[in-house]
A and B are shown apart, each in its own frame.
Chain A
Amino acid sequence: MQSRRLFNTTLMAALVSPCPLGAQGPMSLTAARRDEIHRLIRRQPGESRWMEIDWYPSVWEARQEAAREGKPIFLMAGSGGAPAAGC
């Protein structure tokens, strides 16, 4: 519980200025502030540019599409289907 109180206090501090929450508390984040934080977290132009590519989730689908289009296949492979989930 002490941890929770500390968290709420910290979060309140984090969300102050330039859109102060006043006494609303973190569970009643204003719509404007919620949208602002959402935008802050999402990809900005020029970031994570690998996400500008359309990635097929399976080799077979990519193979079918490559055959249709007459294009080569580019595979990125990692522990979690790089680059969509890191290395």
Chain B
Amino acid sequence: MTRAVTFWNDQTISLIKENFVAASVPTWLCRTDSPEGEFLRRANIHKQWVTSSGYMSCLSAGGSMLGKRPSVEVLEQFHSLPDAERQPPASQIPVLKAEQVVIPSPPQGGLVLRVHARFLAREANGQLRHATVTDFPLMADKPDVQRSWSKFLQPNTEYMWLTRDEWRALVPSDPRKGERRDVDAAIAERMARFHLTPQRATTSEGGITRRQSVKEARMALVVKENSAKHIHMELEGFIHWGSDYDASKATTPNGPLAQGYETPIHGWLEYDREKEKFTRFQIVAPGDVWGRWGDANGKSMYVERPGRNPFGFALELATGNSPSDRIPPGGNGHYVQATGYFPDSK
């Protein structure tokens, strides 16, 4: 399991942060006709990364395979390598030409939002709280399953991209307090199809909602404050994709109701008119999910619950201080290039 909680302890975190350069990539990269694919195949990684499930691999910049998990032994092996393997000259790793790049970068001048997804639960008094393994009846009396699946109850983070033209269009040219304007439908649909999908909590596979499944995706901005320096806007909206809720069919396991998700959208945006950029872009989607959570074989997953249950998303402006902020939406460049993520893609 890539997200095994026991692996990510203080010792491992320190070991990686101090001694390794980390990268997070899709497994299909090793099969691409690209310099990155060739580099990985020379290290025989394609013989390890045979499925889409999670893998760990350590290697040198020169391409020597060092092992799987980062460890002291891996470091020792690294330091025993010749200099040319540990630190090949920059001329051997030139900047890639545009046509050689496989993993897309955020759009030039675009805006990146971190999208945090989390299972929630509702107390008897209606109060929202973090979900725990005891909230999932299919895990009841299965301590091994509870231990294994607890990691998925921690928030998962991925990234949403807006183009420069898209975010600039959110800024009113002549803002007036109380003015209300619809947000481009393409942005609301992108949020519904690619980001506000609870599957993001467990896997990126199948984490895209078909365009036809989006029943409603609308957002609007209301100017709340306006000055020479700032524009403050409130975002409101509603998203519904998938089935309509039917309590009699929202049973588990293997109930007859397909999955559905409904959420109001609440946000607060602050635009700095002098710096000409957003300084706050905070959105919350405290929605409800229901119906089937099928695994690859259609069998109910352990996180499926009867009825409708809260599942929330929190979006915030990525600072760009970490290279992680440039990971493509869903962690997968294919989402951007081949699925209609942007209106001009397929």
Contact = CB atoms under 8 A, between A and B. Distances in A.
Interface of A: 3-4, 6-7, 10-11, 13-18, 26-27, 29, 31, 34-35, 37-43, 47-87
A63 B40 contact: no
Contacts of A52: 13, 17
Interface string B35-64: 110011000010001001111111111000
A69 to B, nearest CB: 6
Contacts of B327: 55, 57, 81, 84-85
Contact of B331 (A14, A70, A82): A82
Nearest to B224: A31
Given A49-B13, A79-B205, A43 B154 contact: yes
Interface string B16-28: 1101111111110
A72 B20 contact: yes
A47 B328 CA distance: 22
Contacts of B56: 74-77
Contacts of B291: none
Interface in B211-245: 236, 240, 244-245
Interface in B55-86: 55-61, 66, 70, 74-75, 78, 86
B24 A55 contact: yes
A81 B331 contact: yes
Given A47-B154, A66-B61, 9 more contacts: A16-B127, A17-B127, A54-B17, A56-B21, A58-B103, A59-B29, A72-B75, A80-B205, A82-B24
B39 A58 contact: no
B292 interface: no
8 contacts: A11-B288, A55-B322, A75-B59, A76-B25, A78-B52, A79-B52, A79-B205, A81-B332
Contacts, number: 319
Interface of B: 1-3, 8-9, 13, 16-17, 19-27, 29-30, 35-36, 39-40, 45, 49, 52-61, 66, 70, 74-75, 78, 86-90, 92-93, 96, 101-103, 105, 116-118, 120, 122, 125-130, 152, 154-159, 200-205, 207, 236, 240, 244-245, 262, 264, 266, 268, 282, 284, 286, 288, 308, 310, 312-314, 316, 322-324, 326-328, 330-332
A74 B284 contact: no
Given A59-B39, A70-B87, A78 B53 contact: yes
B240 to A, nearest CB: 8
Contacts of A42: 116, 155, 314, 316
Contacts of A41: 116-118, 120, 155, 284, 286, 312-314
Contacts of B19: 71-72
A40 B323 contact: no
A85 B118 CA distance: 13
B23 A61 contact: yes
Contacts of A49: 8-9, 13
A67 B30 CA distance: 20
A37 B312 contact: yes
Point out which of A27, A59, A62 has the most chain B C-beta atoms below 10 A from its C-beta. A59
Contact of A67 (B26, B61, B156): B61
A13 B90 CA distance: 60
A65 B21 contact: yes
A50 to B, nearest CB: 5
Contacts of A34: 266, 268, 282, 284
B128 A54 contact: no
A72 B130 contact: no
Given A74-B22, A76-B2, A83 B13 contact: no
